[in-house]
C-alpha cells in the first residue's frame, strides 16, 4: 500500500519501540531496536547484516547511554551512518530522547546523517590545537553543531572531524562566521 511518506533505504538503529513509532509517523522506514543498553550479540549481528545489504543509520538518544550504544555499533559496523539530534531538541517533560525530540530535529538529523569512514587524516593534531578549541567549550560546540557531529569531548571531536574529512580551512571558516 503506497504511502506519501519519504522512503528511507537504510535501516535506522534506535534504542526502543517509542523511537520506532515516532520514525514511522514521519517515514516509510525499517528499524532495528537495541533495547537500550541491552544491545546483545544477536542484535549486533542483525545490524551488521543490514549494513551489508541496505546500510544503517544510527540514531540514539543524545545522552550517555546513547553514546555508549553508538560507540558499540561503530566498533562493529565502521561504515554505519550516524544521525545526531541536539540535546536541546530532544528534551521531553520527563525524559531525554529521540521519541521526545521535535519533529524538525529528527528530520534534520536524518537529512544530515554522516558516515564515519577511516580515511587519511584531513586535520593534524597541531592544526587542531592551533584552532584554540581545546579549552573553549563554546567553540568546540559550534564545530560539533556546524558539521552535525553530535557532541562529545575534545578527542571525540578530533576523531570525528577526521572521519568525515573536515579540513582545517573549513573549521577556520566556520569559527570565523
Q: What is the pLDDT of residue 114?
A: 66
Choose among 65, 78, 97: nearest CA to 159. Answer: 78
Q: How confident is the model at residue 116 (pLDDT cuts 50, 70, 90)?
A: low
Backbone angles phi, psi at 22, to 5 degrees: -65, -45
Average pLDDT over residues 127-151: 87
Instruction: Tell me what percent of the chain is helix, strand and coil, each rounded to the nearest 5.
Output: 50, 10, 40
pLDDT greater than 60 at residue 45: yes
Q: Map out the domains of the chain with their CATH numbers.
A: 1-116 (3.40.1360.10), 118-177 (no CATH)
Choose among 10, 4, 43: nearest CA to 113. Answer: 10
Q: Give the number of other Cβ atoms within 10 Å of residue 33's Cβ.
A: 17
- Is the Cβ–Cβ distance between 87 and 95 less than 8 Å? no
- Rounded to whole angstroms, the Cα distance separating 150 from 100 reads 17
DSSP 92: -
Amino acid at each position: 500500500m503506497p504511502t506519501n511518506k519519504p522512503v528511507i533505504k537504510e535501516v535506522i538503529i534506535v534504542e526502543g519501540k517509542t523511537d520506532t513509532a515516532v520514525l514511522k509517523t514521519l517515514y516509510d522506514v525499517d528499524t532495528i531496536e537495541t533495547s537500550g543498553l541491552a544491545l546483545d550479540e544477536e542484535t549486533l549481528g542483525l545490524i551488521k547484516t543490514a549494513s551489508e545489504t541496505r546500510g544503517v543509520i544510527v540514531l540514539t538518544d543524545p545522552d550517555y547511554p546513547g553514546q555508549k550504544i553508538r560507540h558499540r555499533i561503530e566498533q562493529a559496523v565502521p561504515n554505519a551512518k550516524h544521525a545526531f539530534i541536539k540535546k536541546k531538541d530532544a528534551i521531553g517533560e520527563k525524559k531525554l530522547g529521540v521519541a521526545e525530540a521535535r519533529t524538525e530535529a529528527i528530520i534534520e538529523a536524518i537529512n544530515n546523517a554522516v558516515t564515519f569512514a577511516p580515511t587519511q587524516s584531513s586535520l593534524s593534531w597541531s592544526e587542531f590545537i592551533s584552532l584554540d578549541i581545546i579549552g573553549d567549550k563554546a567553540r568546540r560546540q559550534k564545530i560539533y553543531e556546524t558539521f552535525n557531529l553530535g557532541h562529545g569531548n575534545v578527542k571525540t571531536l578530533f576523531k570525528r572531524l577526521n572521519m568525515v574529512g573536515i579540513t582545517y580551512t573549513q573549521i577556520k571558516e566556520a569559527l570565523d562566521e
